[in-house]
Amino acid sequence: MTPSTKNLTLLAQIPFFKEFTMEQLKWVDANTTEYAFTAKEEIPTSGAMKSTYWILLYGSWEMKLMKKGKIITLGVHQIGKWFQRNTLSEPEDMIHLQATSNAYILMVEEEEMLEMFIKKFPINENIGFG
């Protein structure tokens, strides 16, 4: 997990942000952090990070459920998908999010996501698709 530099032109092409104005994209740039992950690197989703939203900008990730000693892959996701640990009912140690390729992922703190709702950024449809 290495901090990365956002590119607003590319960010505007990500499905999650396609309807954002340039002013809204600049707000996202100022209030979020982008990270680069290598293939098979775990994306932190527990403890202090459980309320953090992660939005996949490039690459792919998979969500795994650890249940009764078995690993169940719940899905492999592509660009524009988001994840937040608090949206799931399973105990923290049972869900794992892992990059399946080199990936760039935007970290959005819960407060910033709420601020986007308050500012009426066009995210309602995207939040519904996860």
Q: Can you give the pLDDT at residue 127?
A: 65
Quick check: 108 pLDDT over 60? Answer: yes
Is the pLDDT reported for residue 68 higher than 60? yes
pLDDT tens sequence across 86-95: 666 565 567 7
> Quick one: pLDDT band at residue 58, thresholds 50, 70, 90?
very high
Q: Write the CA distances from 37 to 8, 74, 90, 97, 107, integer angstroms.
A: 19, 20, 25, 12, 12
Query: What CA–CA distance (Å, rounded) separates 14 from 103?
Result: 13
Q: How far apart are CA 111 and CA 69, in angstroms?
A: 35
pLDDT band at 2 (very low <50, low <70, confident <90, very high): very high
Tell whether the model's pLDDT for residue 85 goes beyond 90: no
- Identify the architecture of domain 2-125 in CATH: Sandwich (2.60)
Average pLDDT of the chain to the nearest whole number: 86
43, containing H or E segment: strand 42-43
b/e map 62-71, b = 16+ CB within 10 Å: ebeeeeeeee
pTM score over 0.85:
yes
**Tens digits of per-residue pLDDT, 23-38?**
999 999 999 999 999 9
